[in-house]
Structure 1
Amino acid sequence: MADRDFELQLKGYGLLTAEIFYFLPDYPSLLQQYVWQEYDEAPDYPVLFGFLDHWRREIEAAIHSVRIAHDRSLGAREIRKVDGVFTLQ
């Protein structure tokens, strides 16, 4: 049985890191940060938006901003034909 993350990478998903900045109701002047990682598809990010919808419904913290980084670490786009070999001395 293959690893779930590896299967997602083969399907074109990449690792998404989201930094979520938020305010808690008890401390409205204190900006806090939550870092979240999951495999997601660029550019629509359905997993991220599902998580943010869950946050808005279930968590009382108000989101200030979200900063994301996405990287597809494995896939067909990384296979390139090499036409030559160069030797440096």
Structure 2
Amino acid sequence: MMRGWYKWIIYVVPSSYSLRSLAVSQVGICENGEGNGCHQLEGLANYTGNVADWAQKEFEFNPENRYKYMLVLIGMWVILQTCIYLTLKYVSHLKR
């Protein structure tokens, strides 16, 4: 279990958003009985339901947030590329 004061790491690390995006796109969506998330979950004691409901309940992978996750990843990529550009433009490691 993660300590409470480490929770900020989840919001800073891009891999948490990419994991959520991947999980939601693969098993988090069950609309009209169609999709990978609609299969009944077997092998878990005390749980009867489909994969999408289990992923939402256990890991908080909500399909409503899939576009938010994507926008955060794109925003982080843009910030990283901007920092790389500014570093290459203004920082010189040549000895004069």
TM-score of the two chains, using structure 2 as the length reference: 0.26
Greater relative CO (CA pairs within 8 A, separation 6+): 1
More helix by share: 2
| TM-score normalised by structure 1 residue count | 0.27
In proportion to residue count, which structure has more strand?
1
